[in-house]
Amino acid sequence: MRRLTFSSTSPKMDEEVLLKLETKSLEVLAEALDTLEAGFVDLPAFDSEPDLARLRTVLRDVAEKMRDNFPYFHPYYAGQMLKPPHPVARLAYMLALWINPNNHAFDGGRASSFMEKEAVAEIAKLFGWKTFLGHLTSGGTMANLEALWIAGQLKPGRKILASDQAHYTHQRISAVLGLRFESVPCDAKAKMDIDSLIQVLERGEVGTVVATAGTTGTGAVDPLPEILELRERYDFRLHVDAAYGGYFVLADNLEAGTRKAYDCLTQADSIVVDPHKHGLQPFGCGCVLYRDPTVGRFYRHDSPYTYFTSSELHLGEISLECSRAGASAVALWATQKMLPYLPGGEFARSLGKCRQAALILFERISGDPRFRMIFPPELDILVFASNGQKASEISARSERFFEAAAAENLHIAKFRYPAALLRGVWKDVDLDQPQVVCLRSCLMKPEHKDWADRLWEILDRTAGRIN
Ligand SMILES: *Cc1c(COP(=O)(O)O)cnc(C)c1O
């Protein structure tokens, strides 16, 4: 059995250094607020002093309540898709709240609307799009809803397809939009199975194929080159849900096949990317992009209340949501200034580190007979399980492992994986359940790479405890 040698700090030393939340940057916020204030000096003063004593009491209560959370900001949190916002995003968002702009229209948020247009153009540039239509949304669900709504307008009465590992939102959104939906089975690597896709396409009536670039469950990237070839033959619209994986287009350590798929994104008809997933943004920031800007015609509407202050296109005229946090755009814009989306740049390298973290842990776990792997991580999501001879035994052990790791302060997630996809992979396992409970870890923090040894140490200890 593989044994670990430690080069980094021992857990004991960790305990001696107490955790401190980063607050130094608040000084920078105070300075920036002075700058903001200077822009409004021609207004008469008005009294807005809060009751500091009450504020202190309430805020202390809030802080106490907020302790009831997993430590999402810490490298020991390696469970769901939660990544701490960059300090610049946090500060820019807060700074914007003194104005509280609404990016529905220039009437409610002028500077932040322009910042949104610039920030969205940076995301489009990731996929080589210079002319496009796009805007921020409150998240990936809303962004996908808009993309499928446009898809339905362009291919009325036709079906939407997505793999059975695609985000559940596509099926639900299709129902909301009154569009028919069919799910396409996956292959042993949790990617859309091309033969199955062809079978569904042959039956006809398909309007749109939703490919996922980085599934929420395993981080698998659907085979875009093959799907694009089929688009030539079957004339469907290709929407790529890259809510989670979109930014990995910048990573320089993808497998060749994955890189090829990412290079195809430029040929998609629409793409969704969530800056609040891997883009270092606070929640409330998704983005939808259309390669053909003329789809803006479907959004056309008039509003009796807004769109007065400028003849330039208001964001509300090209989005379904009305009020939207201008602060989200400000935070994203500021983050892009601090960490530009450049190949080889700091932002790109930090994505590469996340993937490296997943690869390091994959290597450790796959060399240990107490665990079972399915396939290597394609991005930075690692799926594994406690070992056993039967699916039911693997599920029960993985459940126990999840609890035991949490008791050690290591927070991973659980994932119900279809046994059908394991048939050719876990040949020696009696698949006595339709779904196997696996363990899932989103290694979304670049720090996870440097902490990989420490994470492994806990996994190792936990495995010893539950077996
Ligand atoms: C997270 C996610 C979504 C949903 O996005 P929200 O921002 O949570 O609404 C959709 N698709 C994929 C692939 C995702 O990872």
Three-state DSSP class for residue 368: coil
- Asked if 117 and 229 sit in the same domain, the reply is yes
Q: What is the pLDDT of residues 433-450, one digit of tens each?
A: 999 999 999 999 999 999
Ligand 1: centre distance to CA 29 (Å):
31
* Confidence (pLDDT) at 30: 96
Q: Is 100 part of a structural domain of the chain?
A: no
Residues 334 and 350 placed together within one structural domain of the fold: no
Same domain, 180 and 253: yes
62: in domain: no
Predicted confidence (pLDDT) at residue 338 exceeds the cutoff of 70: yes
Residues whose CB falls within 8 Å of the CB of residue 22, separated by 6 or more in sequence, listed in order: 87
Query: What are the tens digits of pLDDT across the range 204-213?
Result: 999 999 999 9
- Residue 331: how many CB atoms within 10 A of its CB? 33
> E-assigned strands of 305-434?
371-373, 381-386, 413-418
Q: Which burial class, exposed, middle or buried, applies to 18 when counting CB atoms under 10 A from its CB (0-12, 13-18, 19+)?
A: exposed
Tokens of 126: 């990731």
244 CA: nearest ligand 1 atom: 15
Domain span including residue 377? 1-37+67-85+346-467
The pLDDT of residue 17 is 78
Which ligand 1 atom sits nearest the alpha carbon of residue 139?
Answer: 7
How far is the centre of ligand 1, averaged over its atoms, from the C-alpha of 224 (Å)?
19
Q: Is the CB of 241 inside a 6 Å radius of any atom of ligand 1? A: yes
pLDDT tens figures, 291-327: 999 999 999 887 777 777 767 778 988 899 999 999 9
CATH number, domain of 361, equals 3.90.1150.170
Q: Which atom of ligand 1 is nearest to the CA of 274?
A: 7
Model pLDDT for residues 87-138, shown as the tens digit of each residue: 999 999 999 999 999 999 888 999 999 999 999 999 999 999 999 999 999 9
Does pTM top 0.85 for this prediction? Answer: yes
Please tell me if the CB atom of residue 355 comes closer than 6 angstroms to any atom of ligand 1: no
Task: Check whether residue 142 and residue 270 sit in a common domain.
Answer: yes
Q: Is residue 51 part of a domain?
A: no
Nearest-atom number in ligand 1 for the CA of 167 is 11
Q: What is the pLDDT averaged over residues 135-143?
A: 98
Question: 150 C-alpha to center of ligand 1: Å?
Answer: 18
pLDDT at 6: 29
Ligand 1 proximity of 216 Cβ (cutoff 6 Å) = yes
116 Cα–ligand 1 center, Å: 20
Nearest-angstrom CA–CA distance, 173 and 176: 5
The pLDDT-based confidence of 5 (bands split at 50, 70, 90) is very low
Question: Is the C-beta atom of 218 inside 6 A of ligand 1?
Answer: no
Q: Is residue 242 part of a domain?
A: yes
pLDDT band at 2 (very low <50, low <70, confident <90, very high): very low
Ligand 1 close to Cβ of residue 247 (< 6 A): no
Residue 13 has pLDDT above 60, yes or no: no
Q: Is residue 90 part of a domain?
A: no
For 351-399, write each residue's pLDDT tens digit. 999 999 999 999 999 999 999 999 999 999 999 999 999 999 999 999 9
Of 288, 321, 338, the position where a domain reaches its end is 338
In a domain, 50, yes or no: no
Q: How far is the CA of 67 from the centre of ligand 1 (A)?
A: 26
Rounded to the nearest angstrom, the distance between the alpha carbon of 243 and the centre of ligand 1 is 5
Helix axes 194-203, 224-234, angle to 10 degrees: 20
- Which residue from 277, 328, 440 has its CB within 8 A of the most atoms of ligand 1, so it is best to mutate? 277
Number of domains, the chain: 2
What secondary structure letter does DSSP report for 236?
-
Same domain, 315 and 439: no
Closest residue by Cα to atom 2, ligand 1, is 243
Looking at 306, 338, 370, the residue that finishes a domain is 338
Q: What is the CATH number of the domain that holds 234?
A: 3.40.640.10
**Average pLDDT for residues 418-426, to the nearest whole number?**
96
- Ligand 1, closest atom to CA 212? 13
Which H/E stretch holds residue 356? helix 346-366
The closest-lying atom of ligand 1 relative to the alpha carbon of residue 142 is 9
* Residues 331, 387 within the same domain: no
For ligand 1, whether the C-beta of 139 sits within 6 Å is yes
Q: What is the pLDDT of residue 63?
A: 98
Mean per-residue pLDDT over the chain, rounded:
94
Residue 208 lies in a domain: yes
162 vs 107, more confident: 162
Which helix (H) or strand (E) covers residue 199, if one does?
Answer: helix 194-203
Q: Are residues 193 and 333 in the same domain?
A: yes
Name the maximum alpha-carbon separation found in the chain: 78
Q: Is 275 in the pocket of ligand 1 (CB under 6 A)?
A: no
Phi, psi for residue 204 in degrees, rounded to 5: 85, 180
Do residues 325 and 397 both lie within one domain?
no
pLDDT attached to residue 15: 53
Is the model's pLDDT at 8 over the cut of 70?
A: no
Percent of the chain at pLDDT exceeding 90: 90
pLDDT of 99: 97
Same domain, 12 and 118: no
Most informative mutation of 192, 216, 440, 442 for ligand 1 (most atoms within 8 A of CB): 216
Written as six digits, the tokens of 352 are 């590469």
Does one domain contain both 286 and 352? Answer: no
**Cβ of 169 below 6 Å from ligand 1:** yes
Q: Is residue 457, in this structure, part of any structural domain at all?
A: yes
- What are the DSSP E strand ranges found in 278-422? 286-290, 371-373, 381-386, 413-418
Do residue 182 and residue 319 come from a single domain? yes
The whole-number average pLDDT for the span 29-57 is 93
190 and 317, same structural domain?
Answer: yes
Per-residue confidence (pLDDT) for residue 307, from 0 to 100: 73
- How do residues 163-177 score in pLDDT, each as one tens digit? 999 999 999 999 999
What the block records as the tokens of 455 is: 């994470």
Q: Is the dihedral of CA 336, 413, 358, 251 positive or negative?
A: negative
Q: Which of 269, 304, 338 is the last residue of a domain?
A: 338
Cα(139) to centroid(ligand 1), Å = 7
Could you tell me if 419 and 366 are in contact, meaning their C-beta atoms sit under 8 angstroms apart? no
Q: State if residue 146 touches ligand 1 by the CB under 6 angstroms criterion.
A: no
